[in-house]
């Protein structure tokens, strides 16, 4: 019989969020009276805003007409959307429209990027980090053997309070891939211009490619903080950026994102990564939904941009309430100011223990920090994606029950 793909048998446990869902369902079954509030997975909750929703509706309607119908489109996305992404999100840096590849989301693109670099790529991640970087590397066989707290083939670069949540770049491996997320999931830390400049300099010196995950970039309010790695001089020859419409406009279910691959980025052989990415996208991807892309176009018109800012301010308002509740409890936390996640520390406790206590006492779901890597132990992550009344109620319960 066929043997199991070792990339799959090498994965540890289940993917983090389904495991949290399982524990939540188990608790709900045992306590049917509990009104559980989720501040766990970063899943958007607010309805699509009118102008953006109008773009989707219009996109769907046009498919019902002879003149407006379109079947397969370009795998790289609608030219108008690629141009608008380049103009709106990369106004202060150099990104050409044909370097923007529209997709069905950042998570899916991260999976395809792992296919691009393959099993021989040396991989480094921030610790803690979004689980897809590690689990995706395991799937393609790039992670090596499990060694108790991590994979032998992956370099885990701790990002903790002692180093201001920015990794020690001396530990960055040469000629590999480094997944870097800012604003960070899960810590909510945002890298400064000086930190990103140091990162780009190190990557160029070492021949390492930065996979810059900017899925939360629009949550940055402080104008001094870079939203894109391409705001940093030299990044075009060492970085790829993945981004998403999920968190800024609530397209978590609609599915739309993009990846920027600059043409200056080359392999040791001198061939461009851009050409291979184009090949991958045209081979195992058929382009993002045309309806979703019309929604994306509407989001990047002035009315859509204003709605996007309003939605982000709403979720940041939730984050401020969560921070305030934790402050009242004397729990030390970071994030939530230019990011939708609040990262709270419970010294001397395990993350799953704190997760269980908060679920049992407050009926609030969080995300255990250890699920993001060894350095996440003793932390839990609070997501600010929730209805306002639910977040207010969750904060009230936290303050009352954890005091
Ligand atoms: C998270 O909660 O970390 C993310 O929302 C999950 C995702 O975006 O896939």
Q: What percent of the chain has pLDDT over 70?
A: 100
Residue 130 pLDDT greater than 90, yes or no:
yes
Q: Provide the H-helix boundaries in 163-289.
A: 193-206, 246-249, 273-284
Q: Specify the ligand 1 atom closest to the Cα of 244.
A: 8
What is the pLDDT at residue 16?
87
Distance of CA 42 to the CA centre of its chain: 9
Q: Which long-range contacts does 71-74 make (Cβ < 8 Å, 24+ apart)?
A: 72/286, 72/287, 73/287, 73/290, 73/293, 74/287
Return the residue whose CA atom lies nearest to atom 5 of ligand 1. 42
Residue 231 pLDDT greater than 90, yes or no:
yes
Return the residue whose CA atom lies nearest to atom 4 of ligand 1. 42
**344-376 tens-digit pLDDT:** 999 999 999 999 999 999 999 999 999 999 999
CA of 202 from ligand 1 middle (Å) equals 28
CA–CA gap between residue 121 and residue 141 (Å, rounded): 9
Q: How confident is the model at residue 13 (pLDDT cuts 50, 70, 90)?
A: low
Q: Within a 13 Å sphere around the CA of 368, how many CA atoms are in the beta-carbon half?
A: 26
**Pocket lining for ligand 1, CB < 6 angstroms:** 41-42, 107, 130, 185
CA–CA gap between residue 296 and residue 215 (Å, rounded): 15
Higher pLDDT, 166 or 147: 166
Mean pLDDT of the chain: 97
What is the pLDDT at residue 12?
85
- Average pLDDT for residues 171-188, to the nearest whole number? 97
CA of 131 from ligand 1 middle (Å) equals 9
**49-99 tens-digit pLDDT:** 999 999 999 999 999 999 999 999 999 999 999 999 999 999 999 999 999
CA of 42 from ligand 1 middle (Å) equals 5
Ligand 1 mutation pick, 130, 186, 217, 386, max ligand atoms within 8 A of CB? 130
Q: How confident is the model at residue 239 (pLDDT cuts 50, 70, 90)?
A: very high
What is the pLDDT at residue 87?
98
CA of 215 from ligand 1 middle (Å) equals 10
The secondary element (H helix, E strand) that includes residue 362 is helix 351-362
Kindly report the number of other CB atoms within 10 A of residue 284's CB atom: 11
**31-44 tens-digit pLDDT:** 999 999 999 999 99
CA–CA gap between residue 386 and residue 271 (Å, rounded): 45
What is the pLDDT at residue 183?
98
What count of residues does the chain have? 403
CA–CA gap between residue 349 and residue 20 (Å, rounded): 18
- Average pLDDT for residues 261-270, to the nearest whole number? 97
Q: Specify the ligand 1 atom closest to the Cα of 252.
A: 8
- Average pLDDT for residues 203-219, to the nearest whole number? 98
What is the pLDDT at residue 240?
98
């Amino acid at each position: 019989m066929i043997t199991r793909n070792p990339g799959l048998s090498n994965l540890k446990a289940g993917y983090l969020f389904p495991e949290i869902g399982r524990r939540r369902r188990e608790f709900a079954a045992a306590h049917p009276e509990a009104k559980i509030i989720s501040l766990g997975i970063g899943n958007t909750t607010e309805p699509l805003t009118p102008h953006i929703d109008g773009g989707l509706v219009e996109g769907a309607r046009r498919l019902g007409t002879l003149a407006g119908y379109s079947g397969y489109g370009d795998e790289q996305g609608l030219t108008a959307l690629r141009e608008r992404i380049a103009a709106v999100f990369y106004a202060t840096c150099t990104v050409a429209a044909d370097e923007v590849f529209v997709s069905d989301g950042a998570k899916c693109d991260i999976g395809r990027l792992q296919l691009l670099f393959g099993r021989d790529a040396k991989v480094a991640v921030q610790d803690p980090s979004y689980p897809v970087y590690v689990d995706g590397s395991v799937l393609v066989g790039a992670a090596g053997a499990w060694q108790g707290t991590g994979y032998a083939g992956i370099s885990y670069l701790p990002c903790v309070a002692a180093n201001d949540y920015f990794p020690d770049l001396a530990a960055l491996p040469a000629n590999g891939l480094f997944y870097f997320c800012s604003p960070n999931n899960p810590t909510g830390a945002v890298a400064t211009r000086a930190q990103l400049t140091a990162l780009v300099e190190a990557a160029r010196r070492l021949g390492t490619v930065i996979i810059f995950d900017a899925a939360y970039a629009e949550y940055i309010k402080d104008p001094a903080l870079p939203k894109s790695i391409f705001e940093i001089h030299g990044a075009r020859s060492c970085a790829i950026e993945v981004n998403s419409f999920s968190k800024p406009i609530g397209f978590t279910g609609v599915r739309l994102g993009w990846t920027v691959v600059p043409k200056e980025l080359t392999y040791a052989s001198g061939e461009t990564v851009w050409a291979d990415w184009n090949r991958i996208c045209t081979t195992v991807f058929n382009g993002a939904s045309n309806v979703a892309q019309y929604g994306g176009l509407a989001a990047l018109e002035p009315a859509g941009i204003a709605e996007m800012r309003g939605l982000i301010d709403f979720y940041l308002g939730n984050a401020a309430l969560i921070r305030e509740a934790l402050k009242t409890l004397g729990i030390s936390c970071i994030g939530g100011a230019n990011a939708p996640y609040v990262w709270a520390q419970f010294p001397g406790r395990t993350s799953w223990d704190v997760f269980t206590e908060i679920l049992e006492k407050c009926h609030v779901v969080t995300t255990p920090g250890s699920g993001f890597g060894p350095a996440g132990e003793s932390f839990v992550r609070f997501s600010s994606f929730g209805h306002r009344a639910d977040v207010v109620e969750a904060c009230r319960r936290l303050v009352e029950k954890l005091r």
